[in-house]
Amino acid sequence: MRKTKITKTQHFVVYDTTQNDLLAELVVSYFDLDQKNREQILQDEKQYFVLWWSDNQKSFYKYKSITALAELLKCHHATVIHHMRTRQGTLNYLENVKDISDFIKGNR
């Protein structure tokens, strides 16, 4: 849904936030997914979050594009594409993403 806020000189586009937008912000802040770190656990959690986002992309307003998601994660949009398409999970992938998957499924 697109809403427009009109002032005397300009038109601003104001988007509603959905429940998934708020959940995405909460997950990023709770699990510190916006850090620049090469730890396997953090990278697996980022990958799970990006894959969850790509599956539910149509239910987002604020983070509808890859660029908006990259700004949320404080990384380049190519990193988001890498997590979506080419990155292989580590050997302990299921153990590493257990907490974040339970958190997302519990708050939906």
- Residue 59: inside a domain, yes or no? yes
Q: What share of the chain has pLDDT > 90, as a percent?
A: 73
- Residue 11: inside a domain, yes or no? no
Q: How many CB atoms are located within 10 Å of the residue 51 CB?
A: 15
- Residue 12: inside a domain, yes or no? no
At residue 92, the pLDDT reads 94
- Residue 6: inside a domain, yes or no? no
E strand or H helix at 15, and its extent? strand 11-15
* Domain housing 53: 17-106
pTM value is 0.83
Number of domains in the chain: 1
- Residue 102: inside a domain, yes or no? yes
Could you give the angle at the alpha carbon of 31 between the alpha carbons of 15 and 26, nearest 5°? 25
- Residue 83: inside a domain, yes or no? yes
Q: For the chain, give the mean pLDDT.
A: 88
- Residue 71: inside a domain, yes or no? yes
pLDDT digits (tens, 9 = 90+) for 31-79: 999 998 889 999 999 999 999 999 999 999 889 999 999 999 999 999 9
3 state SS of 18: coil
- Residue 10: inside a domain, yes or no? no
